[in-house]
């Protein structure tokens, strides 16, 4: 068995490792790296409350290797002026921005109490932080559509051009039309890009039945750091993790590929912190890929070569010869519980097939299993949690018997 370490989310040294979430019977080990990033972020270009340069600097300084700035129905191009609130919190933040980037960079107008700032475009600010194999900004958009008052949001990562939200006669039709628009753009451009469903439980917009009826969707958010998206569901509606398993059981019955689970920030608020605000640093993915390039990252995500996290770091993750091995990075005074969760052929629900009290464990898949994934729960509290999700978590992607 090949093994590797993932030290503190920094780019790892090259290593030999096999990690397959497909049904391939064999796969040669290859030298790959691990990259940490956030795929759902907002700025002053839509309903975020900070300049994109400041946001990117925060993520880079915190050790992220990539970020997709996914503003609502807009890409950061063309001319846009932002009126800054008169509140001292935001005016002081502007002064900090001006001090950091200087008068030559910041273009603004002030008349009496009104302050307007010209926002920098993607082409202007991305070169400030893009650094080969260290940090990458990925062009993105949150496609913000709706049906009968229900918010239907999808993220497009590595876009070629902005997509105007598609309409439809039902929740499923609206979602499907927008998924198709992304897939058509990908085919026409030849550029790897992905679409994922955002926060289905936001205003209870997207049901399990809606998700099951979709075609061509490979990703959704199993965790979203916004305080109003009901990650855990409620007394009558299921949370995202349960939804994930039911979707995959249904997809396999229909001959569709597995859907993978992402963790994202969905950050909007950069000046007020706490459980009531949508802050950065709550959810991310860690991707195994050959290089820090947008297309390469998208292709790795589509292979399932990643895990989602709200704080847990893995030092080992492998799937070879039908054995899924997982190890969390040991920490003094921190305990871990590993749950290997799967579904047997002919059954309609998943179950915990094996529980390990400790940082490391493995599970051998038998031919009668549809899929297995691992959920890792840490005794360490999550920094700045939402809902009742107080402990740090990680989720590996489901794998199938070879």
User: What is the tens place of the pLDDT at every residue in 239-281?
Assistant: 999 999 999 999 999 999 999 999 999 999 999 999 999 999 9
pLDDT at 23: 37
Chain position carrying tokens 């990703």: 219
The residue ranges of every structural domain in the chain are 7-80+119-396, 81-118
Q: Taking Cα atoms as reference points, which of 125, 130, 126, 108 lies closest to residue 117?
A: 108
- Radius of gyration of the chain measured on its C-alpha atoms: 21
Residue 27 has pLDDT above 80, yes or no: no
Please give the structure tokens belonging to residue 259. 């859907």
pTM of this structure? 0.92
Does 20 or 215 have the greater pLDDT score? Answer: 215
Helix pair 122-129, 52-61: axis angle to 10 deg = 20
- What is the architecture, at CATH level 2, of domain 7-80+119-396? Alpha-Beta Barrel (3.20)
Q: Using one digit for the tens of pLDDT, what is the confidence trace for 303-355?
A: 999 999 999 999 999 999 999 999 999 999 999 999 999 999 999 999 999 99
Chain position carrying tokens 């993790």: 241
Residue 5 has pLDDT above 70, yes or no: no
Q: What is the mean pLDDT of the chain?
A: 94
Distance CA 373, CA 36 (A): 20
Residue 306, CA atoms < 13 Å, CB-side half-sphere? 27
Categorize the per-residue pLDDT at 13 as very low, low, confident or very high, splitting at 50, 70 and 90. very low
Q: How far is CA 398 from CA 36, 162, 192, 235, in A?
A: 19, 32, 22, 26
**Count of beta carbons in the 10 Å neighbourhood of residue 107:** 12
Please give the structure tokens belonging to residue 237. 């509606």
Distance CA 1, CA 395 (A): 21
H/E stretch holding 31 reads strand 30-31
Q: What is the mean predicted confidence (pLDDT) over 98-123?
A: 97
Categorize the per-residue pLDDT at 31 as very low, low, confident or very high, splitting at 50, 70 and 90. low
């Amino acid at each position: 068995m090949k093994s590797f370490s993932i030290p503190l989310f920094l780019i790892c040294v090259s290593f030999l490792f096999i990690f397959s979430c497909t049904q391939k019977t064999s796969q040669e080990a290859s030298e790959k790296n691990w990259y940490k990033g956030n795929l759902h972020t907002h700025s002053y270009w839509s309903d975020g409350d900070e300049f994109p340069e400041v946001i990117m600097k925060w993520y880079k300084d915190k050790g992220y290797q990539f970020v997709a700035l996914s503003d609502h129905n807009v890409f950061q191009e063309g001319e846009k002026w932002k009126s800054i609130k008169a509140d001292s919190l935001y005016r002081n933040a502007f002064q900090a921005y001006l001090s950091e980037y200087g008068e030559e960079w910041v273009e603004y107008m002030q008349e009496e109490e009104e302050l307007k700032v010209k926002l920098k475009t993607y082409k202007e600010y991305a070169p400030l932080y893009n650094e080969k194999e260290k940090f990458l900004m990925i062009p993105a958009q949150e496609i913000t559509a709706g049906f009968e008052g229900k918010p239907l949001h999808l993220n497009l990562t590595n876009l070629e051009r902005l997509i105007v939200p598609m309409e439809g006669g039902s929740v499923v039709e609206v979602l499907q039309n927008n998924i198709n628009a992304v897939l058509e753009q990908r085919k026409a451009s030849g550029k790897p890009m992905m679409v994922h469903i955002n926060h289905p439980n936001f205003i209870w917009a997207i049901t399990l039945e809606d998700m099951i009826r979709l075609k061509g969707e490979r990703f959704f958010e199993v965790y979203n750091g916004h305080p109003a998206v009901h990650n855990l569901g409620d007394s009558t509606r299921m949370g995202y993790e349960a939804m994930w398993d039911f979707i995959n059981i249904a997809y396999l019955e229909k001959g569709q590929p597995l859907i993978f689970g992402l963790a994202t920030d969905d950050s909007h608020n950069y000046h007020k912190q706490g459980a009531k605000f949508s802050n950065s640093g709550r959810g991310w993915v860690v991707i195994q890929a050959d290089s820090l390039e947008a297309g390469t990252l998208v292709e790795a995500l589509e292979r399932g070569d990643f895990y989602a996290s709200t704080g847990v770091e893995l030092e080992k993750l492998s799937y070879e010869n039908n054995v899924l091995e997982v190890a969390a990075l040991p920490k003094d005074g921190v305990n871990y519980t590993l749950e290997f969760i799967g579904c047997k052929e002919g059954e309609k629900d998943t179950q915990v097939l094996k529980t390990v009290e400790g940082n490391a464990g493995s599970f051998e898949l038998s031919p009668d299993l549809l899929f297995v994934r691992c959920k890792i729960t840490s005794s360490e509290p999550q920094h700045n949690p939402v809902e009742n999700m107080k402990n740090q978590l990680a989720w590996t992607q489901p794998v199938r018997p070879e």
